[in-house]
Amino acid sequence: MTEETFKKICSRVPKGVTVVTARRPCDGLPIGVTVSAFTGVSLQPPTVLICLKRDSMVTNLLLQVRYFAVNVLCEDQRDLSQRFATGSLEARFCGLEWREGLHSVPVLPGTLGHVVCEGGKSVADGDHEVVFGRVLEGSYAEGRCPLVYWASAYQALKGASPEVPGGIERYLHA
Protein backbone atom coordinates (compact mmCIF):
# COMPACT_ATOMS: atom_id res chain seq x y z
CA MET A 1 0.00 0.00 0.00
CA THR A 2 1.51 3.30 -1.03
CA GLU A 3 1.00 6.45 1.04
CA GLU A 4 -0.71 8.11 -1.92
CA THR A 5 -3.19 5.24 -2.39
CA PHE A 6 -3.94 5.18 1.33
CA LYS A 7 -4.56 8.96 1.33
CA LYS A 8 -6.90 8.64 -1.68
CA ILE A 9 -8.88 5.84 -0.02
CA CYS A 10 -9.23 7.81 3.23
CA SER A 11 -10.25 10.95 1.32
CA ARG A 12 -13.29 9.05 0.01
CA VAL A 13 -14.85 9.15 3.48
CA PRO A 14 -16.53 12.52 4.15
CA LYS A 15 -15.46 14.18 7.38
CA GLY A 16 -17.05 16.93 9.40
CA VAL A 17 -14.74 19.85 10.12
CA THR A 18 -14.19 20.98 13.70
CA VAL A 19 -11.95 23.38 15.58
CA VAL A 20 -10.50 22.16 18.87
CA THR A 21 -9.89 24.99 21.34
CA ALA A 22 -8.32 25.26 24.78
CA ARG A 23 -6.30 27.55 27.02
CA ARG A 24 -2.52 27.41 26.72
CA PRO A 25 -1.17 25.80 29.92
CA CYS A 26 1.68 28.27 30.45
CA ASP A 27 -0.23 31.57 30.28
CA GLY A 28 -3.94 30.83 29.70
CA LEU A 29 -4.06 32.35 26.21
CA PRO A 30 -6.55 30.70 23.82
CA ILE A 31 -5.24 28.13 21.33
CA GLY A 32 -6.97 26.16 18.60
CA VAL A 33 -6.51 23.88 15.63
CA THR A 34 -8.68 22.58 12.79
CA VAL A 35 -9.43 18.87 13.18
CA SER A 36 -11.39 16.58 10.85
CA ALA A 37 -10.84 13.39 12.85
CA PHE A 38 -13.54 13.71 15.53
CA THR A 39 -16.19 11.24 16.58
CA GLY A 40 -18.41 10.22 19.44
CA VAL A 41 -17.15 7.10 21.19
CA SER A 42 -19.54 6.36 24.05
CA LEU A 43 -22.90 7.55 25.37
CA GLN A 44 -22.30 6.32 28.92
CA PRO A 45 -20.26 8.16 29.90
CA PRO A 46 -20.37 10.61 26.98
CA THR A 47 -16.94 10.41 25.36
CA VAL A 48 -15.42 11.71 22.13
CA LEU A 49 -12.09 11.33 20.41
CA ILE A 50 -9.97 13.59 18.28
CA CYS A 51 -6.83 12.79 16.31
CA LEU A 52 -3.98 15.29 16.30
CA LYS A 53 -0.81 15.33 14.21
CA ARG A 54 1.98 14.43 16.61
CA ASP A 55 4.75 16.79 15.42
CA SER A 56 2.65 19.93 15.89
CA MET A 57 3.25 22.61 18.54
CA VAL A 58 -0.49 22.92 19.18
CA THR A 59 -0.72 19.15 19.74
CA ASN A 60 2.03 19.35 22.34
CA LEU A 61 0.09 22.12 24.10
CA LEU A 62 -3.26 20.32 23.87
CA LEU A 63 -1.76 17.21 25.43
CA GLN A 64 -0.91 19.32 28.49
CA VAL A 65 -4.36 20.86 29.07
CA ARG A 66 -7.06 19.42 31.28
CA TYR A 67 -10.04 20.83 29.35
CA PHE A 68 -10.73 21.42 25.66
CA ALA A 69 -13.69 22.14 23.39
CA VAL A 70 -14.62 20.71 20.01
CA ASN A 71 -16.51 23.25 17.87
CA VAL A 72 -18.48 21.75 14.95
CA LEU A 73 -18.29 24.11 11.97
CA CYS A 74 -21.20 24.87 9.65
CA GLU A 75 -20.94 25.14 5.88
CA ASP A 76 -20.36 28.92 5.88
CA GLN A 77 -17.38 28.72 8.26
CA ARG A 78 -14.63 27.72 5.83
CA ASP A 79 -12.76 30.85 6.89
CA LEU A 80 -12.60 29.57 10.49
CA SER A 81 -11.35 26.21 9.29
CA GLN A 82 -8.58 27.90 7.30
CA ARG A 83 -7.73 30.32 10.13
CA PHE A 84 -7.16 27.50 12.61
CA ALA A 85 -5.32 25.28 10.11
CA THR A 86 -2.60 27.77 9.22
CA GLY A 87 -0.62 30.67 10.63
CA SER A 88 0.79 31.32 14.06
CA LEU A 89 -1.04 30.18 17.18
CA GLU A 90 -1.29 33.78 18.38
CA ALA A 91 -2.91 35.00 15.15
CA ARG A 92 -5.68 32.40 15.17
CA PHE A 93 -7.72 34.21 17.85
CA CYS A 94 -6.61 37.74 16.91
CA GLY A 95 -9.73 39.85 16.28
CA LEU A 96 -12.00 36.81 16.56
CA GLU A 97 -15.16 36.89 18.66
CA TRP A 98 -15.50 33.97 21.08
CA ARG A 99 -16.93 33.21 24.51
CA GLU A 100 -15.86 31.21 27.52
CA GLY A 101 -17.43 27.82 28.07
CA LEU A 102 -17.16 25.63 31.14
CA HIS A 103 -13.72 25.89 32.80
CA SER A 104 -13.06 29.04 30.71
CA VAL A 105 -12.50 26.98 27.56
CA PRO A 106 -12.83 29.10 24.38
CA VAL A 107 -16.03 28.37 22.44
CA LEU A 108 -16.55 29.72 18.92
CA PRO A 109 -19.84 31.46 18.03
CA GLY A 110 -22.15 30.50 15.20
CA THR A 111 -21.13 26.85 15.05
CA LEU A 112 -23.47 23.87 14.71
CA GLY A 113 -22.51 22.83 18.19
CA HIS A 114 -19.74 22.32 20.67
CA VAL A 115 -18.70 20.02 23.48
CA VAL A 116 -16.43 20.91 26.37
CA CYS A 117 -14.39 17.92 27.46
CA GLU A 118 -12.06 16.85 30.21
CA GLY A 119 -9.06 15.29 28.55
CA GLY A 120 -8.61 11.61 29.18
CA LYS A 121 -6.06 9.19 27.93
CA SER A 122 -4.19 9.67 24.70
CA VAL A 123 -2.74 6.96 22.52
CA ALA A 124 0.16 7.52 20.15
CA ASP A 125 -0.19 5.68 16.86
CA GLY A 126 1.90 6.38 13.79
CA ASP A 127 2.23 10.11 13.26
CA HIS A 128 -0.88 11.01 15.32
CA GLU A 129 -2.14 11.16 18.90
CA VAL A 130 -5.64 9.86 19.54
CA VAL A 131 -7.05 11.91 22.42
CA PHE A 132 -10.17 10.90 24.34
CA GLY A 133 -12.34 13.48 26.06
CA ARG A 134 -15.10 13.04 28.62
CA VAL A 135 -17.93 15.39 27.61
CA LEU A 136 -18.91 17.77 30.40
CA GLU A 137 -21.26 20.13 28.55
CA GLY A 138 -22.38 20.98 25.07
CA SER A 139 -24.96 22.65 22.90
CA TYR A 140 -26.15 22.45 19.30
CA ALA A 141 -28.03 24.54 16.73
CA GLU A 142 -30.54 23.50 14.09
CA GLY A 143 -31.17 24.75 10.59
CA ARG A 144 -27.77 24.69 8.88
CA CYS A 145 -25.54 22.03 7.36
CA PRO A 146 -22.05 21.06 8.49
CA LEU A 147 -18.81 21.99 6.81
CA VAL A 148 -17.65 18.77 5.15
CA TYR A 149 -14.26 17.77 3.78
CA TRP A 150 -14.32 15.06 1.11
CA ALA A 151 -12.02 14.11 -1.80
CA SER A 152 -9.43 16.60 -0.52
CA ALA A 153 -11.78 19.61 -0.77
CA TYR A 154 -14.52 21.39 1.15
CA GLN A 155 -17.97 20.24 0.09
CA ALA A 156 -21.61 21.13 0.75
CA LEU A 157 -24.50 18.82 1.48
CA LYS A 158 -27.04 19.60 -1.24
CA GLY A 159 -30.67 19.02 -0.37
CA ALA A 160 -29.82 18.12 3.20
CA SER A 161 -32.21 19.03 5.95
CA PRO A 162 -31.05 18.67 9.56
CA GLU A 163 -34.71 18.75 10.64
CA VAL A 164 -35.57 15.69 8.55
CA PRO A 165 -33.24 12.76 9.24
CA GLY A 166 -32.24 11.10 5.99
CA GLY A 167 -33.61 14.13 4.10
CA ILE A 168 -34.43 13.98 0.41
CA GLU A 169 -31.52 13.84 -2.05
CA ARG A 170 -28.68 13.86 0.43
CA TYR A 171 -25.49 13.83 -1.51
CA LEU A 172 -22.18 15.62 -1.67
CA HIS A 173 -21.34 18.10 -4.38
CA ALA A 174 -18.58 20.62 -4.99
> Would you state the pLDDT for residue 120?
87
> C-alpha angle 105/111/112, rounded to 5°?
115
The CB-based long-range contact list for 49-56 (8 Å cut-off, 24+ gap) reads: 49/130, 49/131, 49/132, 49/133, 50/18, 50/20, 50/130, 50/131, 50/133, 51/128, 51/129, 51/130, 51/131, 52/20, 52/128, 52/129, 52/131, 53/127, 53/128, 54/124, 54/127, 54/128, 54/129, 55/127
Q: Tell me how long the chain is.
A: 174
Which pLDDT belongs to residue 109?
93
Task: State pTM to two decimals.
Answer: 0.88
Q: Given this structure, which CATH class describes domain 3-173?
A: mainly beta
Phi (first) and psi of residue 152, to 5 degrees = 65, 30
Exposure string of 129-142, with b = 16+ CB inside 10 Å and e = fewer, is bebbbbbbebeeee
What integer pLDDT is reported at residue 90 of this predicted model?
Answer: 86
Instruction: Show the low-confidence residues of the chain (pLDDT under 50).
Output: 164-174
pLDDT for 143: 79
Digit-coded pLDDT (tens) for 126-144: 999 999 999 999 999 987 8
